[in-house]
Structure 1
Amino acid sequence: MPAARPRLLYVTDLAYQARGRRYCDEDIHLTSRLRAHFDLALCHPLDAAALMDGHDAVVVRNSGPVLGYEKEYAAFRARALATGARVYNPLTGKADMAGKQYLLDLSAAGFPVIPTVGRAEDLHRLPPAERYVVKPRLGADSLGMRVVTAGQVRALATGDVLVQPCVDFAYEVSFYFVDDDFQYALYAPDPDRRWDLRPYPATAADLEFARRFVDWNDLGCGIQRVDACRAPDGGLLLVELEDLNPYLSLDALPEEARDAFVTAFTASLSRFVHGALSPA
């Protein structure tokens, strides 16, 4: 049973250098607030498997792209599943937590996703484009992403990458959820400044779009970020569904909205630790 004050192992890479963001600031803020309700220990993702015993839950937050420590992450997952450790987000995620295969699957199933294929023989399924985006299946934070010409793309579509047409979108927008409940939305008005974010007034149609992917993922609890772009026809297309360690951009929110998110996150963690939500 959890202790009177639940003990959380909070996994974060405070030294990770992200483009246009300071992961450490976000986790310093969150842990400073969570300490009012939980006993916390912070650790680097490389140490999580060795340190998870003795805690009521493991909270994976800004732990950086798994691409940089695939073996260690696999060991962490294996140990957590073998011991029944509670991991938040639960390890049942079908989106970025499991790699980028979901973009291929959702695209093939007709979901509103940027058209995506992985093999040269499937390139005909994509709309014609002068430029294509090629990215690793286990990539994150734009690591390994390349923009190539139509003449170059066939040689790169080897099955271990994703290939998408370059979409001339108006802007990118992200929708943030806790336990399937919408919290806030942020967007980048300038497509060339992805992380210059502003609060976004989500419409009912926007939320219907975002909830479709949250419902598909069926995570049950945890934090999810639905990243989308506004396509030339005015509709939204999914860019990615981040269900492992989504950066929250809390510094872009007004104080009231930031406090509301922390309240929702704290309540979710409390329910999770005390077993009101199912563990992974």
Structure 2
Amino acid sequence: MPSVRPRLLYVTDLAYPARGRRYCDEDIFLTSRLRDEFDLALCHPGEAAALLDAFDAVVVRNSGPVLGHRAAYDAFRERAAERGTRVYNQLTGRADMAGKQYLLDLSAAGEPVIPTVGSLADLHLLPAADEYVVKPRLGADSAGLRIVPADRLRQALDAGADEDAAADGADGDILVQPRVDFAYEVSFYFVDDDFQYALFAPDPGRRWELVPYDATARDLDFARRFIEWNGIDHGIQRVDACRAPGGELLLVELEDLNPYLSLDALDDSGRDSFVAALRAALRRLLAA
């Protein structure tokens, strides 16, 4: 008898070599729990576009940075749009899904983000710092990130620009931020627009050694303003922030494509709660 259960294509790269993390363990766990309710198959991001027609929805999870398979990802997005495929996360994200431009836009709008500019001409808009972070506007997973002393910043940016664009500091290619002496980093995890849990790294030098964080109402107001700004109805989002010297939270990143969830930092009850929320979210997506 044919199955009447929804069919999910789960896109992941089980071999992706994440630093300090094992993405594959998370996806093995999640798919083992989703199979209780859905007929599910895993595929590499390079194969997703060719397989869409056989499934009711696609779940994009730990598939690695898009830069590693740009052509395949563009083909997937194009094919999904053509056939109206339900995709989780939905492909309308305005944050990391579309690159790092949102950090420039939010910074210019005066939102609580780490101050960010995209050219030499705008360096005067940044607060003074001993060191600056320079990273590609289309970067991911810290690829290409550099820490540059203040007295070498202009030289470093000029050296990274094409000869014809040196005067502009390679506008459109890079982001520059002051290196913030933060107390810790904290991440807030949402399924659709519902808050699930928060984790933080007590030691700033050990970003992925995370423990549960008891988020305050003010913390959640901070995180939700970016979830609301992004406007995703269906998807998992992670709001990464740092606790600045003045005590305020500043946005570091809004990951809305395939955020790693650090489920291993939760207890069994926390993981069960997350799985239940994800199942419910996928049911909503399939009913949409």
TM-score range normalised by the length of the shorter chain: over 0.9
Q: CA deviation at 1:153?
A: 2.1
Q: Report 1:64-75 matches (<5 A).
A: 64-75=64-75
Identity of aligned residues (%): 73
How many correspondences in the alignment? 273
- 1:21-75 CA-partner distances (Å, limit 9, x unpaired): 1000000000000000000010001111111111000100000011111122111
For the residues of structure 1 that align with 2:80 and 2:209, how far apart are their CA atoms? 36
Counterpart residue number, 2:243: 230
Note the residue ranges of structure 2 that are not aligned, 5 or more in a row.
Answer: 158-168
For the residues of structure 2 that align with 1:163 and 1:118, how far apart are their CA atoms? 6
Counterpart residue number, 1:16: 16
What's the secondary structure of 1:69's corresponding residue? Answer: helix
Asked whether the equivalents of residues 5 and 39 of structure 1 are also in contact (C-alpha less than 8 Å), the reply is: yes
For the residues of structure 1 that align with 2:196 and 2:257, how far apart are their CA atoms? 17
Q: Report 1:124-143 matches (<5 A).
A: 124-143=124-143
Counterpart residue number, 1:195: 208
Counterpart residue number, 1:144: 144
Counterpart residue number, 2:160: none
Aligned-pair RMSD on alpha carbons?
Answer: 0.9
Identify, as 1 or 2, the structure richer in helix: 2
Q: CA deviation at 1:154?
A: 2.3
Counterpart residue number, 2:269: 256
Q: CA deviation at 1:178?
A: 0.6
Q: CA deviation at 1:77?
A: 0.8
Counterpart residue number, 1:106: 106
Q: CA deviation at 1:152?
A: 2.7
Q: 4+ residue runs of structure 1 moved beyond 6 angstroms?
A: none
Tell me which of 215, 220, 230 is aligned to 1:207: 220
Letter paired with 1:207: L
Counterpart residue number, 1:269: 282
- The alignment status of 1:181 with 2:198, answered yes or no, reads no
What's the secondary structure of 1:117's corresponding residue? Answer: coil
Note the residue ranges of structure 1 that are not aligned, 5 or more in a row.
Answer: 276-280
Counterpart residue number, 1:62: 62
Letter paired with 1:37: E
For the residues of structure 1 that align with 2:154 and 2:47, how far apart are their CA atoms? 40
For the residues of structure 2 that align with 1:171 and 1:198, how far apart are their CA atoms? 12
Tell me which of 225, 232, 248 is aligned to 1:219: 232
Counterpart residue number, 2:252: 239
Q: CA deviation at 1:274?
A: 2.2
For the residues of structure 2 that align with 1:129 and 1:105, how far apart are their CA atoms? 21
